Amino acid sequence: MSAPEIPAGPAASAASPTAPASAVEVRAVDKVFETRGGLVHALEGIDLTVAAGEFVSLIGPSGCGKSTLMRLIADLDEPSAGAITVFGKTPTQARLDQEYGIAFQQAGLLPWRTVAANVALPLELHGVASAARAAKVGELLDMVGLADFADRYPDQLSGGMQQRVAIARSLAEQPRLLLMDEPFGALDEMTREKMQSDLVRISAETGAAVVFVTHSIPEAVFLSDRVVVMSPRPGRIREIVPMRLGGAVGGAVGSEAGARADAATRAERTDDLREDRSFFDMVTAVREALHGGTPVATGARGVENR
Ligand SMILES: Nc1ncnc2c1ncn2[C@@H]1O[C@H](COP(=O)(O)OP(=O)(O)OP(=O)(O)O)[C@@H](O)[C@H]1O
């Protein structure tokens, strides 16, 4: 059973011309790779709307096309069919307008630059004056709890700290959208939970929409307004599960008003939630969606239950 998507394409925009564009709209997208072994249908018939301010996770077994979808949104590759818009613009225009920040599994910091200089890089590239840059970098490092590490170099930091620098850098241009592909995949469990709590707070504070790829069901549940469950060969959306946690109604279902309400309840998510009955119920709901709606005892290949 697939959760219904609210149509938000040209028809919806025409009905309400002043309505702000969704953060991401993916319409009937296919992606086929030609390989020596033949055609690989990485994505087929993908339809997804991410509202402004909404937090959406993509989860599914290895090879179901999560990273491919993320790369299409980030303009790192092009769909074979269908269309993608980011705040109503083509992905290329959105990239040129710095509509989104990217944080992927490897922090990707420049080793010869200090923490502050790494975070400042996007601002420098776009000609922000030095005083304004320093103020912004200070604010961002505060936000990710690294104010005391501004003058250190990446190799002097732990993996979790490096990831926080990368997140600060992705926020430098105050993007309305963050694209995060397994940003916490390489971290130990305690650091990972801390980073999840930080990200919940930061996304609520900045109001940025987030598209987040993960292999961890609890991580997806803790962070998200909705969890998009994908299946492989060809990569499809199997189900979209709205998160209802800690008594919140939840489930923005692609609308901006819903996303705002969800962001408010998301901001209140604390570690206690991880032991709440509603959390376990949502973990079970996502696990069952991964397995096609049947109750299961074991995880899908490539998906962690931790
Ligand atoms: N550049 C490419 N050329 C050929 N095939 C590709 C390419 N990129 C991805 N694929 C194939 O597309 C499918 C989807 O890959 P993708 O990396 O998007 O999956 P994923 O869900 O992110 O997997 P994982 O969870 O293992 O990271 C896979 O079968 C993969 O082998």
Q: What is the pLDDT of residue 250?
A: 53
For residue range 118-151, list pLDDT tens digits in order: 999 989 988 899 999 999 999 889 888 899 999 9
- Type of residue numbered 27: R
| ipTM associated with this complex | 0.98
130-143 helix and 115-125 helix, angle to the nearest 10 degrees: 130
- What sign results for the dihedral spanned by CA atoms 8, 11, 13, 15? negative
- Range with lowest mean pLDDT among 7-16, 44-53, 248-257: 7-16
Q: What are the backbone angles phi and psi of residue 136, rounded to the nearest 5°? A: -65, -40
**Cα-only R_g, the chain:** 19
**What is the 65 CA–ligand 1 centroid distance (Å)?**
6
Ligand 1 site-directed mutation target among 29, 31, 33, most atoms within 8 Å of CB: 33
Nearest alpha-carbon partner for 165 in 191, 142, 186, 144:
144
Nearest alpha-carbon partner for 185 in 210, 214, 157:
214
**What is the 67 CA–ligand 1 centroid distance (Å)?**
7
Q: What is the largest CA-CA distance in the chain?
A: 57
pLDDT at position 157 over 50: yes
For residue range 1-45, list pLDDT tens digits in order: 444 443 333 333 344 445 567 999 999 999 999 999 899 999 999
Q: Please, which residues bridge with residue 48 across strands?
A: 26
DSSP state, residue 107: -
Protein residues whose CB sits closer than 6 Å to any atom of ligand 1: 33, 35, 40, 42, 60, 62-68, 235, 302
Relative to the CA of 31, which ligand 1 atom is closest? Answer: 12
pLDDT grade for 298, boundaries at 50, 70 and 90? very low
Q: Which residues of 132-145 are buried (b: 16+ CB within 10 A; e: fewer)?
A: ebeebbeebbebbe
Relative to the CA of 60, which ligand 1 atom is closest? Answer: 21
Side-chain half-sphere of 43: how many Cα atoms within 13 Å? 27
Averaged pLDDT of the chain: 84
| Cα(99)–Cα(205) distance, integer angstroms | 17
For residue range 89-115, list pLDDT tens digits in order: 999 999 988 899 888 777 789 999 999
**What is the 142 CA–ligand 1 centroid distance (Å)?**
36
| Cα(235)–Cα(27) distance, integer angstroms | 14
Instruction: With H, G, I as helix, E, B as strand and everything else as coil, classify residue 46.
Output: strand
Mean pLDDT to the nearest integer, 156-185: 88
- Higher-scoring residue by pLDDT: 62, 266: 62
Classify residue 53 as left (phi > 0), alpha (psi -120 to 50) or beta: left
Of all helices (H) and strands (E), which one includes residue 305?
Answer: none
